[in-house]
Each structure stands twice: as structure tokens, then as C-alpha cells.
Chain A
Amino acid sequence: AQSVAQPEDQVNVAEGNPLTVKCTYSVSGNPYLFWYVQYPNRGLQFLLKYITGDNLVKGSYGFEAEFNKSQTSFHLKKPSALVSDSALYFCAVRDYTDKLIFGTGTRLQVFP
């Protein structure tokens, strides 16, 4: 069965420092991977996706993610964190239908 794991409930980083939010996946076949962000009391917003091609995927708000097939990971990264990046981040994998399987979420806290 398809699944994703987000091993960290919370990530703390100082503003201006690089950030990484981790995600690992388990799929049969080629993975279709997604990152979403949720700001307080809002719905989820799409950040980026990996379908095929380059292992480094660029998305919205300066975020990028690195697909690593050997480590079955799809970590979200940003070179320089902003306080406004503080939010809840979800990794997801597409199953063989159109459904998404979500991780449990990682809360990112960026301190001034």
C-alpha cells in the first residue's frame, strides 16, 4: 500500500537559516509526490510536485524539494527561512487512482 511518513511533528529554525522538512514514501511503481502548506484556519495550498524528470523540483514561495529514489525521500527545502513560512506542511503521494495519501503533517516554526 502507498504511504508517506513525516518523522518530525515540529521543526524549529531561525529566520534566514536554511530549512528542511522531511518526508519518506512507500509506493509500488513510480511515485507521484506532492507538498502542501496550511496556514492557520485555512485550507491546504499546493506548493510543488514530483512526477518525473529532474530530482530537484522548484515550487511556490521559494520552496524546492529533492526526490531521492534510493532513500525513498522527498524532503522540502528552502535556502533562507522567513517568519511568514511558519505553517503546517503536508507531504502526499498519489495512489493508483486519483486519491492522495497524506502524511501526518509537520509544523514549521520560524523564529525572528
Chain B
Amino acid sequence: DVKVTQSSRYLVKRTGEKVFLECVQDMDHENMFWYRQDPGLGLRLIYFSYDVKMKEKGDIPEGYSVSREKKERFSLILESASTNQTSMYLCASSPSGRSRGNEQFFGPGTRLTVL
């Protein structure tokens, strides 16, 4: 079974703090994704990566950055956390797009609260 793990299930931080969210997948997938989930808005893509050291902006990259130094690990960084970044953060991975039918596999999510 594909396993995608995230470093924390719940996280509470203060405004202005630098926050790191870690994601690890064990299936050698090329693609990795970070989403945030908010009620009524569904999932919105923050950043994604097709390969090591490669990143692309998604729909809502402002206030976030990412790092992918190893194939299995994809980190989301909030440089200076703000209250409007309080949300559920979901990481996902998938094989590369040779077959466009590849589904994404999701981690359990990190519920971040910024006070």
C-alpha cells in the first residue's frame, strides 16, 4: 500500500512564527503536492513538484514556499505564519503523468491553527 505520512496531525503556532510541514511518501512517486482545505472552498493547490529540486506554483502560493531535496520528502514552509493560514493542510503524491489516469494518494492531513 502507498503510504503518505505528514509530520503532525495538529499544530498550534503564533503569528509571525516560521512553520515547517513535512510530508514523506514511500512509493517512489515523482509527483508531490500540497493543498489546503477550507470549508466551502474544497481543496486548493498551493505548490507541487514533479521531481527533486523542482517546484511549481499552484493556485494560492502567496505566503508559502516549498522544498524538495529528496524524492520522498516534500516540505511546506510558512515563512511568517498569519491567522488566515489557519487551515487543514493535505499532502499528496502520484506517479508521473505517462498515464494520465494516475490517482493521487493523500496523507492524513495537518490541522494548523495560527493564534
Contact = CB atoms under 8 A, between A and B. Distances in A.
A43 B96 contact: no
Nearest to A97: B97
Nearest to B99: A51
Contacts, number: 53
Main SS of chain A's interface residues? loop
A67 interface: no
A103 B42 contact: yes
A36 B109 CA distance: 15
Q: How large is the interface on B (under 10, 10 to 19, 20 to 34, 35 or more residues)?
A: 20 to 34
A52 to B, nearest CB: 8
B78 interface: no
Contacts of A102: 42-43
B25 interface: no
Interface residues of A, number: 22
A56 interface: no
Interface of A: 9, 32, 34, 36, 41-46, 49, 51, 90, 94, 97-100, 102-105
A46 B45 CA distance: 17
B94 A44 contact: no
Interface stretch (B67-75, B79-87, B100-108): B100-108
